[in-house]
Structure 1
Amino acid sequence: MEFNQINTESLLNLIKSRRTCYQFLDKEIYPLDDTKLNNCLQAAIWAPNHKLTQPWQFYVVGEKLKNRLAEVYADNRASKKSQTDTECYAGFYQKALEKFMAIPQVILVGQVLAQDSTVRQEDYAACACAIQNFQLMAWQQKIGVQWSTGPIINDPRTYQNLSIEPSQIQLIGALYLGNIEENCQLKNQSKRKTVEEVTFYLD
């Protein structure tokens, strides 16, 4: 088997430079390229998974579904923020609705639930690896991603809109993505522990 000619330093720099992005370029002016999105999905499905269970499902949200999910998203956000002042619900709802609709692309990630608890745990890890693959391919193509585990993925209305049964498929993340400015990573610097702080060599 021949490995692709990718420089070790380049790969490490890609991994180290990736950031979660919350701000995206206007989707009307800078629409996402379908080929680039497919590259991300292709990268995702090559994640390691024990016994090739391939437990992931990806739901690429179109405009009609996005409108319905925006209402679920906005209701959850507004309900949480207006707990101390119910009169503010409408204002919070409208702001949340606009925020969700401004996201260029939404992809929901589901995990097919195995009956065996050990396999189910392994499959969640595999799905997380798939999402990381997705994010790295996106970053390499100058696409920003936010992996959200907010209330929308646990809301029964989301499952109904996707026509999936929560006892069979569990949503584990909402990926919000879009084109980003070149210097996005400079605005979101993160401090990591050193390798020496988290690595233990045992004899």
Structure 2
Amino acid sequence: MNILEVIYSRRNIKSFKSNPVSMDQIHKWLEVASMAPNHKMTEPWEVYFIGDNTRTKLNHKTNFFGAPVVFAVLSKHGATDIETAENAQATACFVQNFNLAAWAEGVGTFWSSMGIVEKNRQVLGVPEGYDVIGVFGVGYPEEINKPKERTPIQEKIKYLS
């Protein structure tokens, strides 16, 4: 697939096969993800792989749709509020790079924001000075949903003089 096909076809997966995903592949996609733009090369992301015990304590309502791999992506705060916001934006780019790299090789992801809840931050052991950008299920899709209709981009564009 070329990059446009990858972007247009990627979906948030809500049903995974039980087939394992190679950690070597996941590490490769994380390496690719680290090429994300990040202001002043802060590389603010950290990845916490979640084992069965922690996964049970998180008590996600769908158990991450049966994904064989689950991890959290954290973003380190910066020295200023602006740097903290830039770091979160860079980490979101890191996540999108990961999602697209995995999808290009037939592996899907499910992105949950459950890491922003204080109880879940404690379960994950998130230190002060970090935000949880998301908790992700990763695996081979059991099914792929049809795309949801999007607002035409022309309705989202403004031209300033």
Tell whether the structures are fold-level matches, with TM greater than 0.5: yes
The percent identity for this pair of structures is 30
TM-score normalised by length of structure 2: 0.87
Q: Which residue matches 1:73?
A: 59
Show the 5 A alignment for 1:50-199: 50-62=39-51, 66-73=52-59, 77=61, 99-100=63-64, 102-150=66-114, 152-156=115-119, 158-165=120-127, 167-181=128-142, 184-185=143-144, 187-199=145-157
Asked whether the equivalents of residues 154 and 171 of structure 1 are also in contact (C-alpha less than 8 Å), the reply is no
**1:46 maps to 2:35:** yes
Deviation at 1:101, TM superposition (A): 8.9
Which range is displaced more, 169-178 or 190-199? 190-199
Rounded to whole Å, the distance in 2 between the matches of 1:173 and 1:38 is: 18
Asked whether the equivalents of residues 108 and 139 of structure 2 are also in contact (C-alpha less than 8 Å), the reply is yes
Q: Tell me: CA distance 1:100–1:191, structure 2 relative to 1, closer, same or farther (3 Å).
A: closer
Give the aligned length: 161
Rounded to whole Å, the distance in 2 between the matches of 1:25 and 1:153 is: 27
Q: Which residue matches 1:34?
A: 23
The Cα RMSD (Å) is: 2.2
SS at match of 1:51: helix
Q: Tell me: CA distance 1:155–1:73, structure 2 relative to 1, closer, same or farther (3 Å).
A: farther
TM-score normalised by length of structure 1: 0.70
Find 2:4's aligned residue among 12, 27, 40.
12
Structure 1 gap ranges (5+): 1-8, 78-95
Deviation at 1:164, TM superposition (A): 3.9
SS at match of 1:114: coil
Rounded to whole Å, the distance in 2 between the matches of 1:148 and 1:140 is: 21
